[in-house]
């Protein structure tokens, strides 16, 4: 029996996506050579780093056939709470602020997972509700006020502007999130069980996979990474307010889908998700250079998402057909039975 060729399909898709990214960069670079400089590449990476962190968490949730629409609200609420703590405690160490951001984000993600498990509700319904709740909590915590540049803790503002070995710290945080996700999904049983559950929830239950614990893990890690992104966002842009990163959850999901992470669960690679982030980063940087209206930018992004979903669905259907392909049976009664069974199946 031929195995499903998900890995080959994903690899081929990633090479195509990489070629598209390179083509866009070269085309824009031909018009504006500065686009192909190392400085611009660092700027694109720096601008895409927070998106990459969020995408790693969202990918874990999508693998389980779920979705986390609250990541941007989690980011905004965590960022606001960290900004408030930093304003009230000027001497707070950076490690404490980082730990606080991760703890708040993880707690908010755990709430999502608990509600989904406890009441057996669809993830889209739960996270749509918590998205609004977390936004409201920002207004309550801040009293509707903004935390401006001069009120942001200097260590929070300084972190995204630091460099290590010539690379911005945001890139190092993004790289750490990517490496962690690769380690979890490739080398840990828990990560492989996320794929198994997303591929067939019923089979996963019969196989003895602790489904509830794995789902809780996925939503908690998604929340933790969103919390970390919240602190970095506030530090990078030196502001915290109620509508911070409003609508950014759609960009996160778009990057996952463009990178080949299936919204039907069980399909996707970290390298593909990173390429999805890179595609959006290059596209966002390229369109203003060629003087494309922001309205067209949104339309183009929407078209790319629809195209990616269609390609994902087509690839999954082809993979499903390959499962039924058999090698020619050997002569004899066994072969006859096998042929008969195939005919009955057809």
pLDDT in tens, 304-328: 777 776 766 665 555 443 333 334 4
pLDDT at 171 over 80: yes
Q: Give the position of tokens 């259907």.
A: 317
Residues 228-235 have a mean pLDDT of 96
Phi and psi at residue 147, in whole multiples of 5°?
A: -105, 110
- Could you give all domains of the chain from N- to C-terminal order, each with its CATH number? 6-326 (1.10.3470)
Contact 232, 94 (CB under 8 A): no
Residue 340: the pLDDT is 39
DSSP assignment of 300-325, as one string? HHHHHHHHHHHHHHHHHHHHHHHHT-
Name the percent of the chain lying above pLDDT 90. 63
Lowest mean pLDDT among 197-211, 296-310, 314-328: 314-328
């Amino acid at each position: 029996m031929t195995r499903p060729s998900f890995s080959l399909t994903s690899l081929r898709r990633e090479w195509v996506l990489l070629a598209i990214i390179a083509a866009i960069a070269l085309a824009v670079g031909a018009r504006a050579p500065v686009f192909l400089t190392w400085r611009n590449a660092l700027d694109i990476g720096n601008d895409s780093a927070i998106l990459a962190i969020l995408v790693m968490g969202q990918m874990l949730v999508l693998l389980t056939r779920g979705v986390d629409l609250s990541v941007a609200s989690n980011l905004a609420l965590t960022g606001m709470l960290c900004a408030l703590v930093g304003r009230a405690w000027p001497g707070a160490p950076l490690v404490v602020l980082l730990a606080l951001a991760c703890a708040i984000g993880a707690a908010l993600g755990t709430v999502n997972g608990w509600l989904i498990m406890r009441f057996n509700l669809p993830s889209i319904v739960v996270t749509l509700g918590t998205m609004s709740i977390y936004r409201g909590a920002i207004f309550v915590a801040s009293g509707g006020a903004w935390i401006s540049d001069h009120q942001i803790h200097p260590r929070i503002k300084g972190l995204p502007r630091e460099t290590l070995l010539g690379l911005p710290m945001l890139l190092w945080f993004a790289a750490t999130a990517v490496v962690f996700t690769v380690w979890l999904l490739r080398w840990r049983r828990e990560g492989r069980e996320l794929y198994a559950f997303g591929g067939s929830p019923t089979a996963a239950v019969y196989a003895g996979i602790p489904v509830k614990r794995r789902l809780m893990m996925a939503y908690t890690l998604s929340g933790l990474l969103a919390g970390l992104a919240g602190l970095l966002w506030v530090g990078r842009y030196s502001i915290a307010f109620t509508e911070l990163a409003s609508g950014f959850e759609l960009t996160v999901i778009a990057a996952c889908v463009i990178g080949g992470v299936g919204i039907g669960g069980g399909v996707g690679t970290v390298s593909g998700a990173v390429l999805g982030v890179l595609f959006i980063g290059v596209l966002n940087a390229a369109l203003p250079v060629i003087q494309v209206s922001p309205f067209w930018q949104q339309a183009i992004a929407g078209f790319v998402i629809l195209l990616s979903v269609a390609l994902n669905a087509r690839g999954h259907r082809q993979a499903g057909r390959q499962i039924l392909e058999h090698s020619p049976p050997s002569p004899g009664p066994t072969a006859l039975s096998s042929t008969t069974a195939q005919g009955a199946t057809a």
